[in-house]
Amino acid sequence: MAPSVNLSDELALCSTAIAGLFRAAAAAGGLGRGDLADLPAAAAAAGISEARARMFVSGQVQLPPHQAMVFVTAVLERLRALDAARHEALAGGGPPSAESTAEGVEAAGAALRREYPDWQVSLPAGYEGLGGEEAVKLVWTARRPGRPDLAAVSAAELGGKMRLAEADMADTARKQRAWIEG
């Protein structure tokens, strides 16, 4: 007679394995820093704080099986959507609809500058040609002293990268304060 299988234990084991593979991919660089730009949204979907999500990704905590699966699924779905948008833009499918006019690009740039005043956000070269006969491929860039330059194919992607960079700087500052304070 074969041993009975407890499906609840099997589900917990599967979610633990998937979460471990996700963290291994993140640690090995399989997920770029920009890929976790929407970490707060993924954390909210799983019902956890952004800090707890960062601790999960770094391997400091283990989430309950259901929360781990929801979090990993939310991050992977965001990556799928970003990849689709990136491929469409790179293939000449054009910018997102909000950025399909020069006015839309200028508004998106102004919004990024308001949200991130410490960053120098450059409007993509050639955006004035939007709406013409030829497809325009936009490349957004942002600079901040002491940080690597950022580039993206849409204002939304650039904003996500800037949000991640800001969170990284805040985390680094917090760690430095903690180290100094002993």
Assess whether 111 and 71 both reside in one domain.
Answer: no
Kindly report the average pLDDT of the chain as a whole number.
79
What's the rounded Cα separation, in Å, for the pair 101 and 132?
Answer: 10
Q: List beta partners, residue 151.
A: 141
**Does 60 reside within a domain?**
yes
Give phi and psi for 156, each to the nearest 5: -65, -45
Assess whether 182 and 98 both reside in one domain.
Answer: yes
The residue that leads in pLDDT, 121 or 78, is 121
Assess whether 68 and 21 both reside in one domain.
Answer: yes
Assess whether 46 and 66 both reside in one domain.
Answer: yes
Per-residue pLDDT tens for 127-150? Answer: 776 766 676 678 889 999 888 888
Last residue of a domain, one of 64, 91, 118: 91
Assess whether 101 and 81 both reside in one domain.
Answer: no
pLDDT of the residue at 36: 64
Residue from 53, 54, 87 nearest 71 by CA: 53
Assess whether 105 and 86 both reside in one domain.
Answer: no
The residue that leads in pLDDT, 113 or 139, is 113
What's the rounded Cα separation, in Å, for the pair 26 and 22?
Answer: 6
Per-residue pLDDT tens for 86-99? Answer: 666 555 554 556 67
Residues spanned by the domain of 65: 9-91
- 95 Cβ neighbours under 8 A, 6+ residues apart: 89, 105, 130, 136, 138, 153, 154
pLDDT of the residue at 125: 78
pLDDT of the residue at 100: 73
pTM, rounded to two decimals: 0.52
- 102 Cβ neighbours under 8 A, 6+ residues apart: 127, 128, 130, 131
Number of domains in the chain: 2
**Does 132 reside within a domain?**
yes
C-alpha distance from residue 134 to each of 75, 91, 106, 108, 139 (Å): 34, 13, 20, 22, 16
pLDDT of the residue at 13: 80
Pure H helices in the chain: 7-27, 39-46, 50-58, 65-90, 102-115, 155-181
Assess whether 99 and 178 both reside in one domain.
Answer: yes
**Does 2 reside within a domain?**
no
